[in-house]
């Protein structure tokens, strides 16, 4: 299961409905925001794991971050901690508030939404991304990465992470995301 599938299907799509309710948008708009934001954040994860100790940092964050709780209890997305966690993740992934604002502006323009809505959803989407990665790791889909790290084969571990983020292995997560979003919009 991909990252977006994990987020979209969490608690029978309660995560998506919670985001929609919280930000006074409809379910389709919430799905569209996530479908546009999560691939960008996924690419940032891919870039980060290729730098220095990025892969070790990611795996450490997955083990100690407890972000999966936002998938299992979507009501927690309303808590200030969800935004604080997300802003920390965004800072690590994107590097600056300007990069986050730019991403939010691009997505808002593409979708015809007010950028303030996307700016509010962006940190929560980052938290959900980490929650989905954490869920996948705990369910065994990323256990191969842990094993490869133990043997010191970081290139293979990077390939395993990339394979998880890019389901059809075409070098882009965008097509994978749009196909999933369309299935959930039906």
Q: What is the pTM of this model?
A: 0.75
Does pLDDT of 161 surpass 60?
A: no
| CA atoms lying within 13 Å on the CB side of residue 179 | 10
Tell whether the model's pLDDT for residue 175 goes beyond 60. no
State the pLDDT confidence band at 186, using cuts at 50, 70 and 90.
low
Residue 136 — very low, low, confident or very high, per pLDDT cuts 50/70/90? Answer: confident
- Which range of residues forms the domain containing residue 45? 3-185
| Model pLDDT, residue 126 | 93
Count how many domains the chain has: 1
Residue 86 backbone class (left: φ over 0; alpha: ψ -120 to 50; beta: rest): alpha
Measured between alpha carbons, how far is 41 from 85 in angstroms, rounded to an integer?
A: 14
Confidence band, pLDDT 50/70/90 cuts, at residue 181:
low
pLDDT band at 22 (very low <50, low <70, confident <90, very high): very high
- With a cut of 60, say whether residue 179 has pLDDT above it: no
Q: Is the pLDDT of residue 38 over 50?
A: yes
């Amino acid at each position: 299961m991909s990252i977006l599938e994990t987020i979209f299907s969490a608690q029978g799509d309660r995560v998506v409905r919670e985001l929609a309710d919280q930000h006074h948008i409809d379910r389709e708009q919430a799905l569209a925001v996530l479908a546009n934001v999560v691939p960008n954040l996924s690419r940032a994860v891919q870039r980060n794991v290729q730098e220095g100790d990025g892969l070790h940092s990611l795996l450490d964050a997955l083990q100690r971050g407890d972000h999966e709780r936002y998938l299992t209890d979507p009501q927690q997305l309303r808590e200030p901690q969800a935004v604080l966690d997300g802003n920390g993740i965004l800072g690590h992934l994107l590097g600056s508030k300007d990069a986050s604002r730019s991403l939010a502006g691009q997505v808002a323009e593409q979708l015809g939404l007010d950028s303030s809505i996307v700016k509010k959803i962006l940190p929560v989407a980052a938290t959900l991304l980490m929650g989905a990665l954490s869920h996948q790791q705990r369910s065994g889909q990323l256990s191969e990465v842990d094993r490869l790290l133990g043997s010191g084969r970081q290139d293979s571990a990077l390939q395993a992470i990339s394979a998880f983020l890019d389901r059809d292995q075409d070098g882009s997560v965008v097509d994978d995301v749009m196909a999933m979003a369309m299935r959930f919009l039906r």
